[in-house]
Amino acid sequence: MARILVLFSTVDGHTAAICERLRRVLAGQGHDVLVLALDGAAEPAPEAFDRIVIGASIRYGRHRKAVFDFIERHRRQLEGRPTAFFSVNIVARKPEKCEPHTNPYLRKFLRQTTWRPTHLAVFAGRLDYPRYGVFDRFMIRLIMCITHGPTDPGRSYEFTDWAKVEAFGEAVGKV
Ligand SMILES: Cc1cc2nc3c(=O)[nH]c(=O)nc-3n(C[C@H](O)[C@H](O)[C@H](O)COP(=O)(O)O)c2cc1C
């Protein structure tokens, strides 16, 4: 049994939902799992864990600064144990952009940090038009229109491949 810390950086909660699914998979393997918000009030102590997983979503082309700040603050601990990183974005709904080496945001992440996680993954996220403000809804619909995605402002669309999330959890749990 390993102690596993799962950290998430989210705006609308979908990355947290993915982490909750990972928690279930890892707990099912007998691990002791703590899931925490990366940009929340509680600062986790990575040295107390055997493995660390970080998940972060993309908004307007970026992972949030809190992700990179955490990596830099705890680089030594991250480099000293098995780790995993995954990105959640909407570009990953496209089969040709859903792998770490083909997804532009995961590739950008690897250019922005020299940390090299043991496991990498990319998951397609969720669009929830009714909950967005006017500006965000307009922008996302525009991007979807250009990239041939769904644009109905009254609907939500979930693109996440949950079987892929579970397979990732199992791989992280096995190390
Ligand atoms: C305002 C806004 C901007 C977004 N920008 C991007 C983007 O630039 N590229 C992309 O692939 N997905 C983009 N997305 C899609 C999000 O990554 C997706 O909705 C994801 O599920 C959000 O995860 P979260 O709920 O954990 O924040 C954007 C979504 C919103 C609402």
Tell me: the pLDDT tens digits for 48-97? 999 999 999 999 999 999 999 999 999 999 999 999 999 999 999 999 99
- Closest C-alpha to 168, from 52, 25, 36: 25
**Is 144 a residue whose pLDDT tops 90?**
yes
Residue 87 CB–ligand 1 contact under 6 Å: no
Considering the chain, what is the average pLDDT of its residues?
96
Query: Which of 15, 38, 58, 86 for a ligand 1 pocket mutation test, highest count of atoms within 8 Å of Cβ?
Result: 58
Residue 17 CB–ligand 1 contact under 6 Å: no
**Is 173 a residue whose pLDDT tops 80?**
yes
pLDDT of residue 43: 76
CA of 16 to the centre of ligand 1 (A): 13
- Does the predicted TM-score (pTM) go above 0.85? yes
Give the pLDDT mean for 143-157. 95
3-state secondary structure 33-70: EEEEECCCCCCCCHHHCCEEEEEEECECCECCHHHHHH
Report d(CA 105, CA 85) in Å as an integer. Answer: 12
What residue has token string 């974005």?
89
- Identify the structural domains of the chain with CATH numbers, from first to last: 3-125+160-174 (3.40.50.360), 129-159 (no CATH)
Burial of 16 (0-12, 13-18, 19+ CB in 10 A): middle
Residue 88 CB–ligand 1 contact under 6 Å: yes
Task: Name the band, by pLDDT with cuts 50, 70 and 90, for residue 105.
Answer: very high
